[in-house]
Amino acid sequence: MPTETPTARRFRDAEEIIEHLRGLGELGSVEANGFSELDHGLQTAAILREVAPGDVELQIAGLIHDLAHPWDGPGQPRHASMGAIAVRGVLGDRVADLILSHVPAKRYLVTIREEYASILSPDSVMTLAAQGGPMNTEEVAAFEESVDLQAMVDLRIADDGAKVPGKIVAPLSTYEDAIRQIASRHTAS
C-alpha cells in the first residue's frame, strides 16, 4: 500500500466531501468527452449497489474513490492515497482503506486474471505503469491477506465498468445522507 504523507489535504466533515463531489460534476473525466468525474463515481456506486446492496460503506467508497483526481498529476500515481488521507478522519478506516486499495486492486487483477487487462480503459492501461505495473509474487500474497479483499476487488471491477458516457444512474442526492450517516457513526465512536 502507498504511504500517507502528513501534509496532505483533509476534509473536516461530510458537507465538505459532498461539496467537493458536486464540484466533480463540473470536471470532465479523462475517460471520455461529456463525462464528468462525478458521473464516473456515480456509475461506480450504482454498480456496487447491485453487487453489494447491504454494503453502504463500499458504495460510498465507490462513489468517492477518485475524488483526489484533481489534486494529482499525470498518471495519477498518488490519487488513491491522497483520497484516503482526505476522508479517513471523517468516514473512517474502512472507507479510506477501500479508496487506498483501488490502485493496488488494479495491479492485483491485472496480475492474477489474464483477461483483465483487456477490460481496462486506455487511460487505465496508461496509468498502470506509473502506478507500479503488475504485482510480483510477494505483492500478490500480501494483497490476498487483506481482510476486505472481496470488497476491494468488487470496487475495482465496478470502477472499470463505470466509464459509460451518457448512462443514467442515481444522482448524488441519493448518497448524501449515507455520507452523513457514515461520518456521524465515525465521529461518534
Verify binding: residue 31, Fe ion, rule CB under 5 A. no
Residue nearest to Fe ion (CB): 159
Q: Give residues 128-187 in contact with Fe ion (rule: CB under 5 A).
A: 159
Element (H, E) at 59: helix 56-64
**Residue 64 · residue 38 · CB < 8 Å:** no
| Residue tagged 475495482 (cell numbers) | 156
* Closer residue to Fe ion (CB): 124 or 186: 124
Q: C-beta of 71: minimal distance to Fe ion in Å?
A: 15
**How far, in Å, CA of 99 to CA of 62, rounded?**
8
Sign of CA dihedral 145, 147, 151, 152: negative
Size of the site for Fe ion (CB under 5 A): 2
Measured CA distances, 67 to 32, 138, 177 (Å) = 17, 29, 18
Q: C-beta of 141: minimal distance to Fe ion in Å?
A: 25
* Closer residue to Fe ion (CB): 57 or 159: 159
* Closer residue to Fe ion (CB): 13 or 77: 77
Q: Give residues 45-84 in contact with Fe ion (rule: CB under 5 A).
A: 66
Element (H, E) at 79: helix 79-112
* Closer residue to Fe ion (CB): 162 or 182: 162
**How far, in Å, CA of 160 to CA of 44, rounded?**
8
* Closer residue to Fe ion (CB): 63 or 186: 63
Q: C-beta of 88: minimal distance to Fe ion in Å?
A: 19
Interacting residue ranges for Fe ion, rule: CB under 5 A: 66, 159
